[in-house]
Structure 1
Amino acid sequence: MTRLFNDPAAFADEMTDGFVAAHAHRVRAVPGGVVRSTATPPGRVAVVVGGGSGHYPAFAGLVGPGLADGAVVGNVFASPSARQVTTVARAVDRAAGDGGGILLTYGNYAGDCLNFDAAQDELRAAGLAVETVRVTDDIFSAPPTERDKRRGIAGDLVVFKIAGAAAAEGRTLAEVTALARRANDRCYTMGVAFSGCTLPGASTPLFDVPAGRMAIGLGIHGEPGFAEVDLPTADGLADLLVDRLLDERPADAGTRAAVLLNGLGSVKNEELFVVYGRVARRLAAAGVAVVAPEVGELCTSFDMAGVSLTLAWLDDDLERLWLAPADAAGFHRGTVALGPVEAGPVATAGAEPEQHGPQWRFLAVQPAETPVADAASRLAAATAVEVLTAIEGTIDAHADELGRIDAVAGDGDHGIGMQRGATAAATAARVAYERGAGVGSLLTAAAEAWAGRAGGTSGALWGIALRRIGETLGDAGGPTPVTMALALRAARDGICAAGGAGPGDKTMVDALIPLDVAYAAAAGDGASATDAWDAAASAAEKAADATRNLLPRKGRARPHAERSLGTPDAGAVSLSLIARTVHSVLIERNTR
């Protein structure tokens, strides 16, 4: 299990801080992640990678000449926020002077797609040339006919390496993007596990594998496998991996392949070498020429005992780029001219850095000016501070349980993500109130803080919800049940549009829609705000509990749908807890 940590919610920040201190000659901290500390040639395409923490050397360990120019560092097993992506992307673009454009590349997960896409839209709107390549190498997460739904796992390294080498050659953004996509299309990975991983602060692993058994098709975020078989010998495991990957060999593959045998956290290199000996013999017998194989920890999952094998089929261009020099903390090849180290101190203006770590101080800066609010809106803002503070306490009390629910078929990060988001939102709300904000501006500040701090799908969606509510209420006048009904409908529409989920998909939407309908009906019948929230919370609680009978059709739980039967959706449960907290605060205020 993961034993060394301070505050689990601050683990990713403290890890990044220590990583930068250890590798200051290679990387420097910027808002949201790290960038290379050596000079980037002017006008060159910048490659930005990223994802959740817990996978070292992915993603920060892959920043350096010949590889990535920057890495966005999310929370443990959670995608980084859109704001983190934009700040890292802007940093690498500035470092390149008259930049040649930005390639965003990352593993294909719902939260990453949501946040990176939002960042791409913002960067393009600012006039930057930006393209995206999602890695989809995990053969067990979707059938070949649905390649776009597959997860990105250890094949990330191959795609990142090809993209970074192409950028280093001076290729255009269109060329770098095309080569990265070609590498992804020819990259296939299969993983197995002998035990699950344990998140910092957790007392149990995200999943268990019985003694003498092996899980097939696991994910790198602690998602369980799709099947269990008896634990094979090293040769038996090599045969299983090679046979399954050769079954997916594309018709135009050729005979040359990059091969990665990856340890997921607890399998030692000596064991990997035993397995690789058989892998090499089997591939040679199949007529496959192995090009620059990599054996070791390349994309991990904390302390998971597991192994993955990647075959990436190479053509002449891809082989040249795979073999090109690179120098990063977690990957080296050949000799690279590093260039001068750039000075890059980052301003530390923001809220409470000593309590929240380096990434918090970069992402919690308040707006310079607060719009003028009238007395009624200020009174509503005071209530919103109480509500968000109470939500912070509710999520703190239920974080472990939300993580446990999420771990049944997902990655177990929902509790920590909600905890970070709720704490950031409450802190931002208190600061905004002290600056004289009305309810609209206060909720907008809370939205930015929640999304920026939590990351992941839930962070982005709660940011949208609070922002839409704040925009609807504004800073003039206090909310009525009718205007709050309009605000909740705006939040619902924003979440459904951004997340793409609908009723029956086993997401927070299954509780959100009943909440919205119940509140609107009560408000339309003339109910008070307190009574309307009571009706809404009751509807959300009932709907959240009913999600235990649904099969997930969206997000990381989708590949493990059957496992989630009997367990409610974590996002729906957290929404129902928050709705009831709002009602409780209103009751308390009415009794004063």
Structure 2
Amino acid sequence: MTWLFNRPSDFAKEMVAGFVSAHASMVRQVPGGVVRNTQSKPGSVAVIVGGGSGHYPAFAGLVGQGLAHGAAMGNLFASPSAQQICSVARAANNGGGVLLTFGNYAGDVLHFGLACERLRAEGIPCETFAITDDISSAPLAQKEKRRGVAGDLVVFKAAAAAAERGDSLAEVLAVARRANEQTRTLGLAFSGCKFPGAEHPLFTVPEGKMGFGMGIHGEPGISELAVLSSQDLAKKLTSALLEERPQGIAQTKGARLGVIVNGLGSVKYEELFVFWHDVQPLLQDAGVIIADVQIGEFVTSFDMAGMSLTFIWFDEELETLWLAPATTPAFNRGSVLPHKPLDPVQREQSGEVNIPQGSEASRACAATVMTMIDALTNTIVANAEELGRIDAIAGDGDHGIGMERGVVAARAAASHALKQGGGAGTLLQCAADAWADEAGGTSGAIWGVILNTLGTTIGNSEKPDAVIVAQAVSQASSGVMHFGKAKPGDKTLVDVLQPFSQALSAAAEEGLSLAAAWRKAGVVAQQSAQATSQLLPQIGRARPLAERSLGTPDPGAVSLSMIIDAVGACMTDDAREKVCP
């Protein structure tokens, strides 16, 4: 369990503040994460890493000369928002473009993808890369669905070393891809981790068993097995990793190999050394040349009792990049790199966001939008426990908590924008960023897309009518499917959002008022949400336990339907108010 904390909700923020204070010569804090506090080569590519907090030294501990230029960090086990990622990337940008790299989790893919598009729109060349080294999370034929675990370090290090030597953005991306292709990881857990202040662990493993192949957030693995001796465990992991060699490694004899033995939180260094003692002779028998060994904690999971084994199949360039010098708070190798502090001008970072002024008509509409946000917030807060219960059937049970964090933050941001004279569009965009920041994860990213698209389409000049709102919802639906990669039938929020959008557009074309059109489409949304109970999830964390969810609606679909109802209840049929009632 976690012993040292104050308010659990403040843990991540206080952790980052303490980390930055302790390592002020190397890193500085910016909104959304940390960046180098030392000068980087002008014109070079900036490598930005990131993900949820709770995995130290990933991700902040890997920021420094020779490794990452910045780390975007979300709440505990929750992806950072697009706004947070953009903030870190802007602060770290050296003029050569930005590579955003992260583990392959749905929320991270969504948020980093959104951030990439925003940065490109601002004129900053940007690419993204999701790491997929965990061989237990999907078969080789579907390796693009695999999770990123301790192999994150390999990709981060190789890409950053390529950036350090002056490679272009395209070349750094190519190095990241090759490092990922050459890296394989397999891990396990003996017990679950517990968040600060939590009464129960995030997941449990039966006594005397181990979760073989389990992910760093407790995602299901291959199977539950009886706990083995270190020697037997070494044989099991080593043989599995040797069997799945990358293309181009025809045989193990003579191949050069890097090895990472990673502790996930509670397994001590002494135990990891015992495990390596059992792995080494197996590799020697296989004829591989052990080029480098790293033993310790690199990607953790709070106090999870578990470990992982990673193999890096080197080519000459990849080995050179892996062995290149680096100096960070948590990872050091080679000769010490010079640390030249930033000058005061470079250190300045303004977190203030100017609120664009809306027209008189749009400000009046914004007041109505604020009422709607109040209503949907109250609805989600009142139903958070039930949403969590639905999510726990096949997922991790955090949908209600995440949605509650998101709506409460969105309401505060919207209220601030309203007081500053923002129009309806600005109100929704501010709510979008705050929701994504605080909720994190997949739902945070999705609602960030929805509200931001609505705000952009509605704008700050005119009162939107039913047709404009229908167009905005349609674009939001397309945006969610584009960034989230979900399709109708995958058992996600899309199974409500798309039919609702279609029904709203049809009603608007009939000439109905916005209130009437919204209510008519809301009936479709309710029916669609309940219909998801007959679907099996095809993506996301519920996919490995798909059968369990049969007969239960998707929590994201249910929460969207609730929000649609809450917003509809705020609308009026007043014939004089056919726009933004």
Whether TM exceeds 0.5 here: the answer is yes
Q: CA deviation at 1:32?
A: 1.8
CA contact (8 A) 1:32 1:88 kept: yes
Listed one character per residue, the Cα deviations across residues 37-87 of structure 1 (whole Å, up to 9, x for unaligned) are 122122333221111112111111111111111111122222222222222
Q: Counterpart amino acid of 1:233?
A: S
1:296-339 deviation line (CA, Å, top 9, x unaligned): 22111222222111111112222222222212122122331232
The residue correspondences of 1:185-224 to structure 2 (distance < 5 A) are 185-224=181-220
In structure 2, the CA distance between the partners of 1:438 and 1:167, relative to structure 1 (3 Å rule), is closer
Q: Indicate the residue corresponding to 1:151 in structure 2.
A: 147
In 2, the alpha carbon distance for the partners of 1:194 and 1:275 equals 15
CA distance in 1, matches of 2:120, 2:460: 30
Query: Among 362, 366, 372, which residue is 2:359 paired with?
Result: 372
In structure 2, the partner of 1:465 is 450
Are the aligned partners of 1:105 and 1:132 in contact in 2 as well (CA < 8 Å)? yes
Counterpart of 1:425, as a letter, is A
Partner of 2:577: none
Partner of 1:297: 297
Structure 1 contact 78–413 (Cα < 8 Å) conserved:
no
Contact 2:187 2:306 in 1 (8 A): yes
Alignment of 1:29-428 (within 5 A): 29-93=29-93, 96=94, 99-253=95-249, 255-342=255-342, 362=351, 365-374=352-361, 377-403=362-388, 405-428=390-413
- Any stretches of 5+ residues in structure 1 without a counterpart? 350-361
Q: Find the aligned partners of 1:313 and 1:406 in 2 and give their Cα distance.
A: 39
- Closer/same/farther in 2, CA of residues 489 and 45 from structure 1, 3 Å limit: closer
User: Which of these residues, 547, 560, 568, is aligned with residue 532 of structure 2?
Assistant: 547
CA distance in 1, matches of 2:475, 2:124: 30
Q: Which amino acid aligns with 1:214?
A: M
Which has the larger displacement, 479-488 or 44-53? 479-488
Q: How many residues align?
A: 570
Counterparts of 1:565 and 1:475, CA distance in 2: 43
Deviates more, 1:80-89 or 1:516-525: 516-525
Where does residue 507 of structure 1 map in the other structure?
A: 492
Q: Name the SS of the counterpart of 1:207 in structure 2.
A: coil
CA 1:225–1:127: 2 relative to 1, 3 Å:
same
Instruction: Return the offset for 1:8.
Output: 4.2
- Asked if the contact 1:30–1:346 (Cα under 8 Å) also holds between the matched residues in 2, the reply is no
The 3-state SS of whatever aligns with 1:298 is: coil
**AA aligned opposite 1:382:** A
1:76-106 CA-to-partner distances (Å, cap 9, x unmatched) read 222222222222122112xx4xx33322221
Q: Secondary structure at the match of 1:293?
A: strand
Letter in 2 for 1:426: R
Percentage of identical aligned residues: 55
In 2, Cα distance between equivalents of 1:567 and 1:338? 57
Decide whether the 8 Å contact of 2:325 with 2:337 is kept in 1: no
Which sits farther off after the overlay, 452-461 or 276-285? 452-461
Residue in structure 2 matched with residue 28 of structure 1 by the alignment: 28
Q: Report the CA distance shift for 1:396/1:228 in structure 2 as closer, same or farther (over 3 A).
A: same
Query: Is the CA contact (8 Å cut-off) linking 2:137 and 2:221 kept in structure 1?
Result: no
Q: Residue type of the partner of 1:105?
A: T
Deviations, residues 450-506 of structure 1 (Å, cap 9, x unaligned): 234434332232122223333444445545555544443333233233323221101
Contact 2:156–2:176 (8 Å) recurs in 1 = yes
Tell me the alpha carbon deviations over residues 260-291 of structure 1, each in whole angstroms, 9 at most, x when there is no partner. 11111222222222222111121121112223
8 Å contact from structure 2 (residues 91, 349) kept in 1 = no
Q: Which 10-residue stretch deviates more, 232-241 or 457-466?
A: 457-466
Please list, as runs of the form range in 1=range in 2, the aligned pairs for 1:11-26 lying within 5 A after superposition.
11-26=11-26
Structure 2 counterpart of 1:576, which letter? S
Letter in 2 for 1:260: I
> TM-score, normalized by length of structure 1?
0.87
In 1, the alpha carbon distance for the partners of 2:297 and 2:276 equals 13
SS of equivalent residue, structure 2 residue 58 = coil
Amino acid at match of 2:318: L
- Contact between 1:106 and 1:156, CA under 8 Å: does it hold in 2? yes
> Please, what TM-score do these two structures have when normalized by structure 2?
0.89
CA contact (8 A) 1:62 1:328 kept: yes
Deviation at 1:227, TM superposition (A): 1.7
Larger mean CA deviation between 217-226 and 521-530 belongs to: 521-530
Q: CA deviation at 1:119?
A: 2.4
User: Residue type of the partner of 2:32?
Assistant: G
Q: Are the counterparts in 1 of residues 366 and 422 from structure 2 also a CA contact under 8 Å?
A: yes
Stretch moving more, 180-189 or 339-348? 339-348
Post-superposition CA distance 1:389-444 (Å, at most 9, x none): 23333333444554454455445543443233222221121122222333233223
Q: Is the 8 A contact 1:515 1:540 kept in 2?
A: yes
Q: Distance in 2 between matches of 1:291 and 1:524?
A: 67
Question: Relative to 1, partners in 2 of residues 1:419 and 1:72: Cα closer, same or farther, differing over 3 Å?
Answer: same
Q: Contact (CA 8 Å) 2:30, 2:349: kept in 1 or not? A: no
2:360 counterpart SS class: coil
Aligned to 1:557: 542
The CA RMSD over aligned residues, in Å, is 2.9
Deviation at 1:572, TM superposition (A): 1.5
The 8 Å contact of residues 35 and 63 in structure 1, kept in 2 or not, is answered as yes
CA distance in 2, matches of 1:422, 1:347: 31
The answer to whether structure 1 residue 493 and structure 2 residue 478 are counterparts is yes
Distance 1:524 1:406, change over 3 A: same
Distance in 2, Cα, partners of 1:565 & 1:450: 29
Please report how far the alpha carbon of residue 184 of structure 1 lies from its aligned counterpart in structure 2 after TM superposition: 0.9
Partner deviation per Cα, 1:117-169 (whole Å, 9 max, x = no partner): 23223333444333333211011222212222221111001111112223333
Kindly state the Cα deviation for residue 245 of structure 1 after the two structures are TM-superposed. 0.7
